[in-house]
C-alpha cells in the first residue's frame, strides 16, 4: 500500500499536483476495498470513521478517481444502460475480465487463458505493444435468465405443447 501511495505521488508530481491528505485517503480506501464500488459509495465511505475529519468533497472524489484511472491505478467499469460506473483497483490485482448483467447489475469476474492468448496473438499481428486491456461482456446472468424463463412458463398457462410439424 505504501508503494502504491509512492507511485501515485510520483504520478501526481508529473502533473504538478501534490498527494494531499485527501487524495491519499481516497487511495487508501479504494485499495482497501476488494470489490467494485461507485464514486458515490466511495464518497459515503469517506464520510465515515476517521476519513470524516478530512472533509473530502464529492468533487475531490470524482477528480481523484479520474486521476487514478488515467494513471492505471484503478479501472472503471461501465454498467451499460443507466450509465452507472464502478471502479476497482488494478495494481496488485490479478488480471481478469468481466461479464455484466444488465438486469440485476451482477458482475462476474473471469479469466480465460485461451482468450488472453488469442488477444496476445492479435496484438502481435498488428505490431502493437499492449499495456492493458479490458473486456466487458454485457448481457443477462444465469439467475435472471432462469427467473425470466420461470415467468414465461407461468404466463403460458396450460403448457400443452402443440408439438412440431
Residues forming contacts to Zn ion in the complex (CB under 5 A) are 88, 97, 101, 103-104, 106, 109, 141, 144
Do residues 86 and 37 make contact, with C-beta atoms less than 8 angstroms apart? yes
Phi and psi at 86, nearest 5°, equal: -120, 160
State which residue, 55 or 111, has the beta carbon closest to Zn ion.
111
CA-CA-CA-CA torsion sign (46, 48, 54, 55)? positive
Q: C-beta of 111: minimal distance to Zn ion in Å?
A: 7
- Element containing residue 108 per DSSP (H, E): strand 107-110
Residue 160 DSSP one-character state: -
Q: Which three cell numbers stand for residue 153?
A: 412458463
Closer residue to Zn ion (CB): 56 or 74: 74
Closest to Zn ion by CB, 9 vs 97, is 97
| Least Å from the CB of residue 125 to Zn ion | 17
Least separation in angstroms between CB 74 and Zn ion: 11
Amino acid at each position: 500500500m505504501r508503494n502504491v501511495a509512492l507511485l501515485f505521488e510520483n504520478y501526481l508530481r508529473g502533473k504538478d499536483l501534490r498527494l494531499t491528505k485527501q487524495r491519499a485517503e481516497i487511495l487508501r480506501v479504494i485499495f482497501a476495498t476488494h470489490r467494485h464500488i461507485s464514486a458515490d459509495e466511495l464518497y459515503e465511505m469517506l464520510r465515515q470513521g476517521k476519513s470524516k475529519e478530512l472533509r473530502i468533497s464529492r468533487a475531490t472524489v470524482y477528480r481523484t478517481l479520474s486521476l487514478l484511472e488515467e494513471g492505471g491505478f484503478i479501472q472503471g467499469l461501465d454498467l451499460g444502460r443507466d450509465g452507472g460506473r464502478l471502479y476497482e483497483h488494478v495494481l496488485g490485482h490479478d488480471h481478469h475480465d468481466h461479464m455484466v448483467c444488465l438486469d440485476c447489475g451482477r458482475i462476474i469476474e473471469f479469466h480465460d487463458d485461451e482468450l488472453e492468448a488469442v488477444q496476445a496473438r492479435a496484438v502481435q499481428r498488428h505490431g502493437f505493444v499492449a499495456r492493458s486491456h479490458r473486456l466487458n461482456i454485457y448481457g443477462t446472468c444465469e439467475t435472471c435468465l432462469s427467473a425470466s424463463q420461470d415467468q414465461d412458463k407461468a404466463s403460458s398457462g396450460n403448457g400443452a405443447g402443440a408439438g412440431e410439424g
